[in-house]
Structure 1
Amino acid sequence: MKTVERKPITLDERISLIDGFDLGVGQRTGTYVIDDDDLTLVETGPSPSVKYLKAGLNALGFSLEDVKYIIVTHVHLDHAGGAGLLLGDCPNAQVVVHPRGERHLADPRKLAAGARGVYGDSFEELFDPIVPIPKERLLVKGEGDTLKIGTDCTLQFMDTPGHAKHHFSIYDPVSNGVFTGDTVGIRYEKLIDAGVDFYLPTTSPNHFDPDAMHHSIKRIKKMNPDRIYFGHFSMTEDVDFALEQVDKWLDVFVAEGSAAYVEGKGYAELADRMLSRVQEYLRNQGIPDDHEIYTVINLDMQICALGIVDYLQKEKATRV
């Protein structure tokens, strides 16, 4: 799919967002640029996004030598797959990663194999190359750890599982905002022009845990942040609405999954049921079934269904 480069989005005087055109689609996944004493990036996207990231940094007036920290909320390839490739051109940077993710960035073969199982023949186009990161250039941060990136800014890290066990979120005290990766779901930017603010949980395999996700959502809500910076895509200042919507849809998805599982249906049937629930809701918001948003929602429902079925199978195995 042909993409058109966009100028970086200015969120405030110190934070910008560069569109990475994940899956060849705009407003899907991006990289946050924090302009502080130590230039800091949050997420890289997959390797095909790195060219857009480099162009965006140049448009903002930064060089690759300026980059000090590259933070990845978790090691799924649509968030961290390009970290090794980017790092090769950022001589002064370190990659900041969750303790459970360190080994996967140092040796990404298992991570790549898992993605190949999900994406099949599309893997190379979507994710190659996946470049290992030398351990000495990895900086591990876990629950309660901090990272000083400016005179007035010390980022704080918190363990936020549910989407993945190797997932942390990052609190930025200057904006009173939280970079949440995939833990509290997806924001569908393409619906904003239609006047619809819409969020869904992302329940991809193979670490999805609804109880942990609910807990992470509640934990972030209790922090009373002014902003949520989503991995997909951009930010919201209507924090309570976003978190409550993800919380409710999470219950809907799991209930649909449980019903389909009892009936002996597979993930394809579940994906169709979840899509039907989403379409019904969006129709009521004035969004037609042929809206371009379904380019990504269709894929999201398939990936989410895989994660829910995987979770239910593991739950059954523990009860046997």
Structure 2
Amino acid sequence: MNAGEFEPVRGVPDLYVHDTGMFDTAEYGSVYVYDAERPAVIDTGTGANREALFGTIEAIGVGVDELAWILPTHAHLDHAGGAGHLAGRYPTAEVALPERGMRHLVDPERLVAGTKSAVRDQWEYYDEPEPVPEDRIAGLVDGDRIDLGDRELVVHDAPGHAPHHAVYHDPDAGVVFTADAAGIYVPEVDAVRQTTPPPQFDLDQCLRDLGMIADLEPDYLCFGHFGPREYDPDLIEEAKRAYVEWVAAVRAKREEFGDDEAVVEHFEETSADVEFWNPERARAEASLNARGVLAFLDRGETP
């Protein structure tokens, strides 16, 4: 699948995945369209290349007055940056996300500033978000159910990645929309990579989130990056190991170097992710992930 294209999610009727073309990396940004009785878009991408997403929604058969839900899993702009643009395009759709993220979409100024500081030169791949009108947005809490008419999504808090993060579970279809709660599964290398952004990554909570996803016993995991895959219990254990080993590696380099910028530079220069991401993105991802762990360690939290 190429940037701007979409395809059905194999094994899940009425569900489609769209490649946003994020960061000029094929399939890195995944947006899901559920063509249910009350259709939903799950995650939105950055808002860049949004016309292609509008085209996908139209091609699936969802009209501008038919989309019922715009459902970011959390407020990070690679998942929610397009919410305001979608709200403007689809006037009858309600935006809903974990309630701790609501304020960031209603008034995105602080979120934009924080994102620019975190992603630096990568901001060129984002778009300025449009605010979501307060009367078009609702907050979700753990256990809420999102009515799609002929099915529903159950909300499960998953705040290890960020306090405003949740996963959405369709129990009838056996699908969990994991966003970043299960890490980033990269098909090219058949492995899970950690995602540990600043400022509020929490390793211990992240491990609990992974356990929660396993307890749901899904058939499919719809990742926020690189699309869906069939569930395998070993994948969750692999993700847990990836997170624990990553935090240990960053801690060890901090002890060795005694300088956080040197730690970040080390992981930027040694990132193996150039195997499947472009070098620019690999360095940026390593920087974000290292800075997130350093912030976690600064809070005095230990695995």
- Asked if these proteins are the same fold (TM beyond 0.5), I'd say yes
Please provide the CA RMSD for this pair. Answer: 2.2
The Cα shift of 1:92 comes to 0.8
Match of residue 232 from structure 2: 239
User: Aligned to 1:170, which of 168, 171, 175?
Assistant: 168
Distance in 2 separating the partners of 1:49 and 1:311: 33
Match of residue 8 from structure 1: 6
User: Aligned to 1:299, which of 271, 274, 284?
Assistant: 284
| Shift in alpha-carbon separation, 1:252–1:130, aligned structure 2, 3 A | same
1:34 pairs with 2:34: yes
CA contact (8 A) 2:31 2:45 kept: yes
CA contact (8 A) 1:54 1:64 kept: no
CA deviations 1:213-251 (Å, max 9, x no partner) are 000001111121111110112112133122111100101
Distance in 2 separating the partners of 1:274 and 1:256: 13
Distance in 2 separating the partners of 1:63 and 1:38: 11
SS in 1 for 2:275: coil
Match of residue 63 from structure 1: 63
The TM-score, its normalising length taken from structure 2, stands at 0.91
Distance in 2 separating the partners of 1:137 and 1:117: 29
1:207 pairs with 2:200: yes
The Cα shift of 1:267 comes to 4.7
The Cα shift of 1:306 comes to 1.1
Distance in 2 separating the partners of 1:301 and 1:5: 23
Query: Partner letter of residue 43 of structure 2?
Result: E
The Cα shift of 1:119 comes to 2.5
CA deviations 1:196-220 (Å, max 9, x no partner) are 3111120001110000000000111
CA deviations 1:137-175 (Å, max 9, x no partner) are 002111111111123x12100111110000111111222
Match of residue 52 from structure 2: 52
Query: Partner letter of residue 168 of structure 1?
Result: A
Match of residue 212 from structure 2: 219
Unaligned runs of 5+ in 1: 280-288
Unaligned runs of 5+ in 2: none
SS in 1 for 2:48: helix
CA deviations 1:234-288 (Å, max 9, x no partner) are 1121331221111001011110111122231325534634875x74xxxxxxxxx
User: Aligned to 1:272, which of 248, 266, 270?
Assistant: 266
Distance in 1 separating the partners of 2:73 and 2:112: 17
Query: Partner letter of residue 29 of structure 1?
Result: G
Query: Partner letter of residue 144 of structure 1?
Result: G
Match of residue 158 from structure 1: 156
Distance in 1 separating the partners of 2:274 and 2:101: 38
CA contact (8 A) 2:17 2:32 kept: yes
Distance in 2 separating the partners of 1:273 and 1:105: 32
The Cα shift of 1:290 comes to 6.2
Q: Among the aligned pairs, what percent are the same residue?
A: 30
CA contact (8 A) 2:274 2:282 kept: no
SS in 2 for 1:174: coil
SS in 2 for 1:95: strand
Q: Which has the higher contact order (CA 8 A, sep 6+)?
A: 2
Distance in 2 separating the partners of 1:102 and 1:156: 18
CA contact (8 A) 2:122 2:284 kept: no
CA deviations 1:6-47 (Å, max 9, x no partner) are 531111321000111112322001210111100111000111
1:147 pairs with 2:146: yes
| Shift in alpha-carbon separation, 1:119–1:159, aligned structure 2, 3 A | same
Distance in 2 separating the partners of 1:77 and 1:85: 12
User: Aligned to 1:311, which of 271, 296, 299?
Assistant: 296
4+ runs of 1 displaced by more than 4 Å? 3-6, 273-276
| Shift in alpha-carbon separation, 1:79–1:266, aligned structure 2, 3 A | same
Matched pairs, number: 298
| Shift in alpha-carbon separation, 1:274–1:216, aligned structure 2, 3 A | farther
Query: Partner letter of residue 292 of structure 2?
Result: G
The Cα shift of 1:56 comes to 1.3
Distance in 2 separating the partners of 1:107 and 1:98: 15
The TM-score, its normalising length taken from structure 1, stands at 0.87
Distance in 2 separating the partners of 1:57 and 1:248: 37
Distance in 1 separating the partners of 2:139 and 2:274: 44
